[in-house]
Amino acid sequence: MPNIKSAVKRVNVNEKKNLRNRMVKSQLSTAIKKFNAAIDLNNAELAEKLLPQTYAIIDSSATKGVIHFNAAARKKAQVASRLADLKSGKIVIAAKVDNKTRIAEKRAKEDAARLATRKATADARAKRAADKAEKEAPKKAVKPDKKTDKKVEKKTDVKADKKPAKKVEPAAEEQTDKKPVKKTKKAE
């Protein structure tokens, strides 16, 4: 904290000028953003209406000493150049996409790639299984029998070697949950 009166006054004046400069810079950036938004919307008429207002704000900020005169001239040239490019058709305005849409499109591409990979893997597995089944299919091989020297057909089917499953016979009498009734002899 300054001790001298002039230093205290200088701090106060600097704070006021800083506040004014920030307001002027804010007006300048807002005017340029509005103009650029009109260009991005492909609206040449609105951009032409905003051009003199944008020029005035740029010039006043240079006059107030917030930006240099050369910087002001450069900004005015950039603004005019964008408008001229829009009118001549040099600028092609692409549709703007927000981040949510961009992320959704990216996820959709990743999902499609993932599904394609899964399908390719499933197709490869199915092909391997078909090849394996084809190799293991029952083949008839002719081999000579050593004892009789006759040719005998032999199956190499795995399922033929297994014993048939036992059949389950249905019960002769149906079982019920009721208790059997005892018959008693009555005196006649």
d(CA 161, CA 169): 24
Percentage of the chain with pLDDT > 90? 55
Taking the CA of residue 45 as centre, how many other CA atoms within 13 Å lie in the half-sphere pointing to its CB?
A: 0
Do 113 and 40 share a structural domain? Answer: no
> Does residue 180 register a pLDDT over 90?
no
Quick check: is 22 in a domain? yes
Least confident of 2-11, 90-99, 118-127, 146-155: 146-155
Quick check: is 149 in a domain? no
Do 82 and 107 share a structural domain? Answer: no
Do 70 and 108 share a structural domain? Answer: no
DSSP assignment, residue 116? H
Quick check: is 19 in a domain? yes
Do 101 and 74 share a structural domain? Answer: no
How does the average pLDDT of the chain come out, rounded?
82
Of 88, 117, 151, at which residue does a domain stop? 88
- Over residues 89-139, the pLDDT tens digits come to 887 776 677 788 889 999 999 999 999 999 999 999 999 998 888 888 766
d(CA 39, CA 86): 7
More reliable by pLDDT, 63 or 3? 63
Q: What share of the chain is helix, strand, coil (3-state, %, to 5)?
A: 65, 5, 30
Residue-number span of the structural domain to which 71 is assigned: 5-88
Q: Mean per-residue pLDDT for 5-18?
A: 96
* Three-state SS at 31: helix
Quick check: is 168 in a domain? no
Quick check: is 65 in a domain? yes
Which pLDDT value is given to residue 188? Answer: 46
Q: Which residue has the tokens 């005017």?
A: 31
Could you tell me the pLDDT band of residue 61, with boundaries at 50, 70 and 90? very high
Q: How many domains does the chain have?
A: 2
Do 80 and 102 share a structural domain? Answer: no
Quick check: is 72 in a domain? yes
Do 127 and 62 share a structural domain? Answer: no
Burial of 174 (0-12, 13-18, 19+ CB in 10 A): exposed
d(CA 61, CA 74): 13
Q: How many CB atoms lie within 10 A of CB 157?
A: 12
Quick check: is 42 in a domain? yes
Do 104 and 83 share a structural domain? Answer: no
CATH number at 16 reads: 1.20.58.110
Quick check: is 141 in a domain? no
> Does residue 146 register a pLDDT over 80?
no
